[in-house]
Structure 1
Amino acid sequence: MDTDKFDKMPMYQYIVNDLRRKIERGELNPHDPLPTQIELAKEYNTSEITSRRAMSELVKEGHVYRIRGKGSFIQEKSNAEGGVKPIRTLYFVYQIETDSFNHPFFNDMFDGIKEVCEENGVDFYLWNIGKDYVLPDDPQAGIILLTGQDDFDLTRLSKWQQERRRIATVHFYYPHLGIPYVIVDNLTGGYLATQHLLSLGHRRIGVILTGNSVLDMNQEFSLRLQGYRLALSQHQIAFEPELIVFVSGSQERTEMGADGFRRLMSLDHPPTAVFATSDNKAIGAMEAARKMLLNVPNDISIVGFDDIQAGQYTYPPLTTVNQNTKKLGQRAAEILLFELKDGQNQLLKDEIVPTLKLRNSTGPVAMKGPDQ
């Protein structure tokens, strides 16, 4: 391309102006894909550094948005031009103790949100609504909401909808309200953990769940139990209620797993494997097994759930389920920034599939296990 007459203009600015003109003329329409930075550099006979800077400027101006792994796209027009005003600030809104944020579920999710925001020139903050349910003053901000409390006032969600707040929930969801949500597929997570044990020959698999009963569990543990039952049914293995133990606690602790494990092993026909539905409970189960002189995994296999860092260094290292919450954060941010249409009730949703992390706490069923 001949750019001699633009010698006094920085090349990145020329690219910005050229693409902006194409947008204004309708040559590029909302959500049209743009060339890659390499392709832009070739098209404008410049370097990738220059094309990257041009794309960054277009993102800052609200003309372009980026989706990790997919590319760059033309943004909707601003409200002044009859379209949607781009979100320039995104808040993670919560009502829980920040101590919980030490869990990898939150750390990874925040990293995912932050990456999408940084790529698109969007500010990202945490915001505690407290007991008064006070949202940020900016009505154009995007809100990723974690309710996480049994006593959360759902009338507040309806009110925020009437105010046309741009909200997506994570972890918990309310389909009847038509609010977009992103969740981890806990049913598949429970299925993967159980299927792995079944593939090793285990047929009596105990489960340690947080709650007081099958009717008194939160959504995530209930779905993990459903995944367990689905895996059993596919192998024509009868569900045995005695292999399910419930432990109470407001937070996941190792003692809960130790207690559940002791109760399972006291059965007349104890399990050969245990699915502890959190890593903390799984680590507690491993400690209890050691005190009972049971070898993990030769005598008993144990699977956790969460993939906390400590699980990599237990002896033996813990087989577990990683919830892929970085992807959960990315998708929640992408839905708010790029997919949610202003003034419309849309039940946009996504379920993030977990991943089984194989380590050494699981092995083939013993020839003479507790149930043999």
Structure 2
Amino acid sequence: MMKYQRIFVIVVDSLGVGPMEDSAAFGDIDVNTLGHISQTVETLEIPHLQKMGIGNITPLKQVEPVASPLGYYGKLKEKSKGKDTMTGHWEMMGLEVTKPFQTFTETGFPPELIEELEQRTGRTIIGNKSASGTEILEELAEEEIATGHMIVYTSADSVLQICGNEETFGLEELYRCCEIARELTMREEWMVGRVIARPYTGKKRGEFKRTSNRHDYALKPFGKTALDALKAKGLDVISIGKIRDIFDGEGITEAHKSKSSVHGMEQTIEIAKSDFHGLCFVNLVDFDALWGHRRNPEGYAREIEKFDENLGKLLAVLQKDDLLMITADHGNDPTYTGTDHTREKVPFLAYSPSMEGNGEIPEQETFAVIGATVADNFGLEMPEGTIGESLLDVLKGIVK
């Protein structure tokens, strides 16, 4: 019995599959991101996800369950107290977040924080409210370009976001201001999970477009994770998309930025064709950023179809000693009220060309089974203070 040489963990950002038992305490009643998308749209053609068992996890109007899936399927619960990106990803790699990250959705940021940020950056701040990234540009970007003022805003997440026009504000200046904001928001009363630089191009309303030069300034994880254990052992830990930012670089040996979720899958396919030994950890953010928060089930459905098409290409290049795990970090039901994430269980799909069996695994109590499985596969102890039990005994394959 040999273990897997390469593991791919793909996070389909926000693809929840039904409410947690405590979802009402988070303001989320009868939410189901994938299920409600299926109910809302006419078509949903996802043959590769269907073969892996996605239709067995939650009822889908267009996708029948399969009697014999490619591998294993099930649901994961979130043990941590939250429904945001960092909480979900940190838990996957073994950290339980017991206190939700602070949000300023209803009030904007405190006047004291805004005043100090203005003094330190030398710029007048406009905005300071919760808004979508496209709406805030349509409202305030012309003013920013004309005056040199700085757009600061938040969302339903624990984030402070700063916009900057790449031509008039400049990328380096945007990053400088974000670094100051990150320093200030390390204080407990102002602490947010991420400060995000949001560069854009364009000169007038209707032309503004955000660019791929976004940069996230995240909190460092409060403890060691499975990623740190892998890196310390000399294994490859390759991040695609915003994984590096979510962990502030901790435990990462190689990082690739993605222009889109389609691009992220293309990068993953190319890495699958290369030589490495360890983990390739992928976040595909467009599902959440472009469609979930904007409450667009049709756009979300088409994004899933694009993912499925590239999933087929990835499955075709997997080697016998590869393991693929597909999951999500929270929900973002595009049919629900508001624009916030939704507290949901997430899908778990696992496949290797060498797997001996297939079928349903019991519902797991934490996302951390993923990191524990990865560590166990490579013969590593999870760092002290982490959570999660390995599923490797279920997911092992025979490698000739």
Larger relative contact order (Cα-Cα within 8 Å, sequence gap ≥ 6) = 2
Larger Rg: 1
Answer 1 or 2: which has greater helix percent. 1
What TM-score results when the alignment is normalised by the length of structure 2? 0.30
